[in-house]
Amino acid sequence: MKRRTFIKQSTAILAATAGGSLKSLAGVTAKYHVVTEGETLSSIGKIYGVNIYQIIAANDLKGNYIKPGDRIHIPQAILKADKITHVRDATDKIKTAFRRWQYIVIHHSGTHNGSANSFDEYHRHKRNMENGLAYHFVIGNGTGSEDGLIEIGDRWTQQLHGGHVKCQHYNEIGIGVCLVGNFESKNPTDAQMRSLTQLLDYFNRDMPGALQVVGHRELDTEHTLCPGVNFPMPDMHKRYS
């Protein structure tokens, strides 16, 4: 058995970091993350937009040792409000071509600020894209829209192909999700990662067959670094492989 390594923080510090006592978090309805080979508390935290101290407190762990197969609780108290209710409601109202979509392609905007409206303006009038906003969804960072807000584009509500990848084939079968920010220079916000995870969980639970989650650069290796070196793409692959 691997040697356990212990984090030298007091229970009081852990509880304060998590925003409450260990007891108050223990009974909250939780999501479960099943640990896979190579994952750490830190890498799991990046997926959900939480820090390791919150995970330790929520699971009443004595240290940071975890092993494949362990079930880690991610309480809704930490995840905060459900950010996809409006996405679910909007999707229920349209005739969704579920079997058409095979990929979810993750992008960063490459800008420090923005929103679905500002990107739509740029794509429509500067890049002459007839259908405007190239993405199906945009997740804000608090600059042009609320941090973590999932904005729904017309390409989703009208079930149109995307304009987010150079290769038209992937536009036809790939759902484009853009997080506002330049992840070559900084990290996505915790709220953005929580919202993205909820969105990906929803699609992979409710669509026939699992959609392949990829970063933009994986489909266009010669032309882009998107979604940036600071986006945790390896952690996304582990969760959605």
Per residue in 159-197, pLDDT (tens digit) is: 999 999 999 999 999 999 999 999 999 999 999 998 999
Q: Are residues 125 and 196 in the same domain?
A: yes
Q: Is residue 136 classed as helix, strand or coil in its secondary structure?
A: coil
Confidence of residue 14 (pLDDT cuts 50, 70, 90): very low
Instruction: Check pLDDT > 90 for residue 208.
Output: no
* pLDDT attached to residue 97: 81
Instruction: Check pLDDT > 50 for residue 148.
Output: yes
Owner of token pair 């609780």: 73
Rounded average pLDDT over 34-54 = 81
Q: Are residues 49 and 137 in the same domain?
A: no
Q: Are residues 120 and 144 in the same domain?
A: yes
Confidence of residue 31 (pLDDT cuts 50, 70, 90): confident
Owner of token pair 């995840």: 79
CATH number at residue 71: 3.10.350.10
Q: Are residues 64 and 107 in the same domain?
A: no
In a domain, 168, yes or no: yes
Least confident segment among 25-29, 56-60, 175-179, 235-239: 25-29
* pLDDT attached to residue 81: 57
Q: Are residues 73 and 95 in the same domain?
A: no
In a domain, 163, yes or no: yes
pLDDT (tens digit per residue) in 113-136: 999 999 999 999 999 999 999 999
Q: Are residues 54 and 164 in the same domain?
A: no
* pLDDT attached to residue 130: 93
Confidence of residue 204 (pLDDT cuts 50, 70, 90): confident
Whole-number Å distance between alpha carbons of 239 and 36: 8
Q: Are residues 121 and 171 in the same domain?
A: yes
Rounded average pLDDT over 105-111 = 98
Which strands, in side-by-side order, build the sheet including 103-108? 150-152, 137-139, 174-179, 103-108, 212-215
Domain end marker among 33, 56, 79: 79
Count how many residues are written for the chain.
241
How would you write 97-125 as a 3-class SS string?
CHHHCCEEEEEECCCCCCCHHHHHHHHHH
CATH number at residue 211: 3.40.80.10
**Structural domains counted in the chain:** 2
Domain end marker among 79, 94, 117: 79
Domain housing 90:
85-240
Instruction: Check pLDDT > 50 for residue 147.
Output: yes
* pLDDT attached to residue 24: 29
